A and B are shown apart, each in its own frame.
Chain A
Amino acid sequence: MKRTIPLLITFIVGLIVISSEFIPHRPFSMINSTLENWYLSISGFAIVLGLLSLVQVNSSKVYHKAENWQYSLASLVSLVVIVIFGVLWGMEDQRGILGNGEAISAFIGKKPFDYLFDNGITPLSSTMFSLLAFFIASAAYRAFIIRSFESNLLMITAVIVILGRTSFGPMLTSWLPKSLSFLHLPNLTDFILTYPSSAAQRAILMSASLGIIGSSLRIIIGLERSYLGSDE
């Protein structure tokens, strides 16, 4: 029973949603619209669930002094601080339960939540993403080595696209006559991205879509049950 009811719900809902795509009339359109609203409400709860899971996992790490527990503690403290600031004084134009925190805003220039967002979260997130540039440079130095025909092809393409996507690249070939304009670096880059790259992307997209259709059908007819948990 614990398994049969969720499987039955999935089957019926799946059938209704698929049918509504082909029969956009009542009652299917109406039921589909209601299901969409339910989905939006349930998605909201997913955030609460994620929050609970974050607290549970990190608290457990701190409690048991697991490896790198200090990071978990930092994560929990950050979470609590930003939630408290948001609830007490709100953000931007929204009021918190203690109002707008004019006294604090006068001191630090903006509301505490906004101050933390602009001076904490934003630079930290950007830093994490920017570190990629350093790893890419290091990886390119080691990995882009000419060994075979395929690696040669990859290398030549990469050099053209990298140069073509800089402001400096076009200057290298700007002297070319009009009859050879197809060899101008930005044009070559656009050609590579528009034709060979897009063709490969299309193949990947189509394969992925077929895979999604297959997986969805397996879930609807109950062959794929992993979403129900690991008991079965």
Chain B
Amino acid sequence: MKIDSQTERRIIFIVLFIAVMLPLIFPIGWTSEVSPHVQMTYDMVDNTPEGSVVLLSFDYDPSTATELQPMAISLIEHAWKNNQRVIATALWPMGVKMADAAFQELLLKYPSKESGVDFVNLGYKTGGMVTIQAMGRDMKSVFPTDTKTIPYEDIPLLKTVRSLKDIQFVISLSAGDPGIKQWIMGAHDMFGVKVAGGTTAVSAPGFLPYINSQNQLYGLLGGLKAASEYEQLLGIVGPATVKMDSQSVAHVLILVFIAIGNVKAYKKRNSKKEGK
């Protein structure tokens, strides 16, 4: 039976859809081995003293939330568990809402955490790299108020924060430019602040050269797998762990498709040779 390419494509789409859906409905519960770069990020957060101020930059929008939002939630939870105080900023306009969503979700679990004391959302600022450079000199001039329009000087968490140098580490959750690269060049290379990052699986290899002897990156979370590994380190079953089953099945299915494609191509080549 000959199947035309259009039908082939539809079969692939349907099979993939089923393969992604089934593990979401009936979770398998596979666990991941923690990779070194995830462990490095975890250690960086874990070794930061209680009461420190840390910064999470939400440099993504809802399109990549599936991969990056679980990282944000895990990182904030880890910081809060260690009594660290979290500043959220965004180099992407929609990052502000992603930060709010992450805080709101975690406030259900940590109702004692108080806005302005344990966390603050400073909002979006355009300018990318230049914004980071300006934050390195004076945070207040870049973010005169938070997203609730409370003046910078009236926010208790920010009393000890004049510039980026007063922040223990920065983690940029980034889906492109501006993002991790700008934080490395601005915050780490210019002001010596520790920087780690979280990004989509497809972008992660591009940032690996920054994990080097100069510690330009202190750790990197790449994609849903890294997010699930972080949840594992925290000892929680979060959204990434649940979705990781689906992603794993989809990956294996893609390998099966590749194998079928090769068998088909091999047969086609053979029949052509015989035809000659």
Contacts and interface: CB of A to CB of B under 8 A. Distances in A.
B74 to A, nearest CB: 17
Contact of B134 (A40, A93, A158, A198): A40
B64 interface: yes
Interface in B234-272: 244-245, 247-255, 257-258, 260-262, 265
Nearest to A29: B137
A163 interface: yes
A146 B263 CA distance: 10
Interface stretch (B77-85, B152-160, B202-210): B202-210
A133 B16 contact: yes
Nearest to B19: A137
Nearest to B31: A167
B49 interface: no
How big is the B interface, by class? 35 or more
Given A141-B257, A167-B31, A94 B65 contact: no
A47 interface: yes
B133 interface: yes
A158 B127 CA distance: 37
Interface in A114-147: 114, 117-118, 121-123, 125-126, 128-130, 133-134, 136-138, 140-142, 144-146
Contacts of B179: none
A217 B131 CA distance: 23
A165 B63 contact: no
Contacts of B258: 140-141, 144, 155, 158-159
How big is the A interface, by class? 35 or more
A224 interface: no
B130 A166 contact: no
A205 interface: yes
A162 interface: yes
B65 A126 contact: yes
A206 to B, nearest CB: 9
A174 B101 CA distance: 38
Contacts of A123: 62
Nearest to A165: B225
B20 interface: yes
Contacts of A125: 61-63, 65
